[in-house]
Amino acid sequence: MTTQEKIKFELEIPVKASPHMLFPYLSTPSGLSEWFSDDVNSRGEKFTFIWDGEERSAMRLSKKTDKFIRFQWEDDVEEENNYFFEFKIQVDELTNDASLIITDFSDEEEIEEDKLLWESQVNELLHTIGS
């Protein structure tokens, strides 16, 4: 069975917060559980995200403090897919305005729905940090 290739997409959301203040919400279990999922546990590089009692695990592939963090769902690791999701903080050098750039992969027919889901999640984040 051949599976359809997923398509990479990015969302850029302005954030009124410093990278130093924002990054823990993107990279720590306590921060991620404030907006991304109901609960998050981590052991080393492995993060377990919990939504409505359902668990889904991801491996942290890389991170640079106050810059970005990249995760890959465990089933993508097992299937040797190159899909990942990433949170990147970009600061405009002229205005000093920060943006959160989310990179993810989705099936073509689900991209718009997934973008809306991310926007909803990020709105929760912005509310949490008072941005």
What confidence tens digit (pLDDT) does each residue in 66-123 have?
Answer: 999 999 999 999 999 999 999 999 999 999 899 999 999 999 999 999 999 999 999 9
CATH number for domain 7-129, candidates 1.10.490.10, 3.30.530.20, 3.40.50.1000, 3.50.50.60: 3.30.530.20
Place 131 in a pLDDT band, splitting at 50, 70 and 90: confident
User: From CA 128, how far away is CA 68, in angstroms rounded?
Assistant: 19
Question: Contacts for 36-45 with beta carbons within 8 Å, 24 or more apart?
Answer: 36/121, 36/125
Q: Which two tokens stand for residue 30?
A: 């306590």
Give the residue extent of every domain in the chain: 7-129
CB 94 within 8 A of CB 9: no
Tell me the whole-structure pTM to 2 decimals.
0.93
pLDDT attached to residue 103: 98
How large is the average pLDDT for residues 50-79?
96
